[in-house]
Amino acid sequence: MPFLILDPTLLIALPGLIFTLWAQAKVKSTYGKYSRYMARSGYTGADVARDILRRNGLGNVAVERVRGELTDHYDPKNGVLRLSAGVHDSQSIAALGIAAHETGHALQHATNYSALVLRSAIAPAAATGSQLGIFLFMGGLLISMFGHPLPWVMNAGILLFGVAVIFTLVTLPVEFNASKRALVVLEKGGYLTADEIPHAKKVLDAAAWTYVAAAATAVLMLIRLLILRRMAD
């Protein structure tokens, strides 16, 4: 029991936590800054999303307003693009950048972008593995410490959590590609001017760090589990 309380492997997860907190602060501050910069085009985030969808033959994809800040996402199951009020109704550069990014996911879905297809396929298992994997591993480890080795339970936990790690890694190219599509469409479509594009890029780059932090944190946690597993032998 003292080993779990003073577990030195906790230090492995610490950089991930710090990275995550920094990334969250970065995206909020950058979004807040460029939410005050209004795009010259006069489009709102919803306008941009609907126009991009229409131009790409995806007029059947609904654009909805949802509550919260930075709760924007594309729902491939229902074919709905959901934008937070601060993006849906705003004419800011930040809003247009985020709206175009989320629309990029709809374009990925329409073209069966390989990384998105893979991420969607493993999403259910990853959602289960991220929590159940840790629970199984720690349960097996605790029981083993009382003289009843359950290596298969710990191994199962590691495998389940490993799926969640793969999910975070596959998410990276999906998000990077959506941002790349967004910046191209924003300029070519005339939604933002050439001198406004760098501002939108800063918003999308800041958001990308949150996904990088999530992947790094997951990898570090997997390393920690593997070390604990080895120490339990």
Active site residue 175: no
Q: What are phi and psi of 79, to 5 degrees?
A: 65, 45
* Interval 47-56: pLDDT, tens: 999 999 999 9
* Interval 80-135: pLDDT, tens: 999 999 999 999 999 999 999 999 999 999 999 999 999 999 999 999 888 899 89
- Are 227 and 137 in contact by the 8 Å Cβ rule? The answer is no
Confidence check: pLDDT of 60 > 90: yes
What does DSSP assign to residue 43? -
Tell me the pLDDT band of 183, cut-offs 50, 70 and 90.
very high
Lowest mean pLDDT among 38-42, 127-131, 158-162, 172-176: 127-131
Which residue, among 106, 95, 113, has the nearest Cα to 60 in the 3D structure?
106
Could you tell me the CA-to-CA distances from 129 to 12, 119, 173 in Å, in that order?
20, 14, 21
Q: What is the mean pLDDT of residues 129-153?
A: 84
Active-site option among 64, 102, 175, 187: 102
pLDDT at 44: 98
* Interval 185-233: pLDDT, tens: 999 999 999 999 999 999 999 999 999 999 999 999 999 999 988 887 7
pLDDT at 73: 96
pLDDT at 151: 85
Whether the model clears a pTM of 0.75, i.e. scores above it, the answer is: yes
Compute the mean pLDDT over every residue in the chain, rounded to the nearest whole number: 93
